[in-house]
Structure 1
């Protein structure tokens, strides 16, 4: 797959850096990973370079001597730091975060702190523990804990729920139980399940996709690849998600087709003259003009009949509603200009006086 090839290339780059630093064990480790990710990748030259490291070290090997005053621990620290791209300060910070039991303790804020203080603490701490910057062991877990703490405490509802429980494990278990009850689909918006993505929160908070530069995107790329594979496996194992989505997409078209075949009844009259309604009529009360299709209207609704009276009552009601709508618009425009005319309001007023009489 294309993602495996990209990861293999990155492993080769790490192996080259290890060879340049003289770290054969690290170089062989990443060469092996690269070959597993991409069997077609040529690494013979890297293996030869590793062999050259042995020969060069044997030629240049000299007895190691140290003064009595030099402590043995400094030599051990020097050897252990070979090929390591993090400091003791990085290690201590990661240990401190991973040892913290509560969300407030993780971010280093008080329980009564403000929302701005939570944001400032997350901004400072997330930059320090991000795996693309801090390579110390456990940095990914620490970065995840910082993301969970910020996501919980930055939302008023979840912060209130957490304050009520007081325990991280109990709070997260409650969140997972609620999600199961709602049978929520995977959308990446759940911050307390196994699919939690702290890097998504990080990118959203800082408003950019690459805070540390393109050369440090190993963790981010790996997270995206893992999440994509998990979602694909979940879709394949679920089995019923695909057909359900197809059915939901087809339903609107089916409704349109059904509505097209449903019987449609045209109105018996219109207050406005148009192509279908051209024959003018007048109500017996209030002389409201309306339009019908043909002379057959009088045959269907004879003058003086209850059916005709009902039709004319509806005409008067529609006419009054129409005047009210247009009058409302005129009054709104009247607020902008006192000289704005209000003919529909005048008609509505006259109609009300006539109806009262």
Structure 2
């Protein structure tokens, strides 16, 4: 899954601004599968690599809020949706147009504007739920949306609330201090809550002719997009993440959800160079490291990952990494 590489170059700049030296940035890029030279030249970039870069940057800087900070400094977008927003009449129209054409620039997330009697919600849902495991990247995306809204309206407004559906422990206050308004973790949805008056904010660069021209162009781009078919691994990860923390689905459960027999499911995974057990183990390891940096206790992590008890999780973690989870947690730079 590819996205505009302008965001990659913004992240490099943000890392350096926050204190990463050039050598550290280069090591982060290489670890995530790209060289500095390629980062400066490519037009499209791998979506998952972007998420991993933000995670690595948080660890290198010892700052769990780096993704949010990078999002807040992401203002100018040269994408077709960015220009459509720029020439929209007001913030409400800009949000509606962004939701309409968002797949052109970000095929993993689907945004929607929802209205109630007393507020409005810019809600984002994952088309590919496998990416929801990258919590720092999710924070970058949502704070980036807020920054773009402020930029096009030229108003430093405050939303009523930002809500994230992932949980966090020790660092929630750091995000509120950075934002200057309520930031909620462990919510039911990923969303920005806005007042109705905020939706009415005019956009100074409004141009009806240009907006109509660009929306026509956007419609053509949408029509030319290939039909999205998520990779099997992404589908499996999405189902597993949605089932947690209540249970960890079995291979038979996942195969049934995907409309396959158990043997067909196992064969297709083998053809893709993996297995159900490998996907489960790698997902649990990935999530466990994230949850440790968010201040969750080992007993909470064990429950969140569907283990019967803490001892079972500790045994598995040592098998994966060669060290006990307590030792890993004590060395975590983003804790």
Q: TM-score, normalised by structure 2?
A: 0.24
Of Structure 1 and Structure 2, the greater strand share is in 2
Of Structure 1 and Structure 2, the greater helix share is in 1
Q: Which has the larger radius of gyration?
A: 1
Higher RCO, 1 or 2 (CA under 8 Å, sep at least 6)?
Answer: 2
Q: TM-score, normalised by structure 1?
A: 0.23
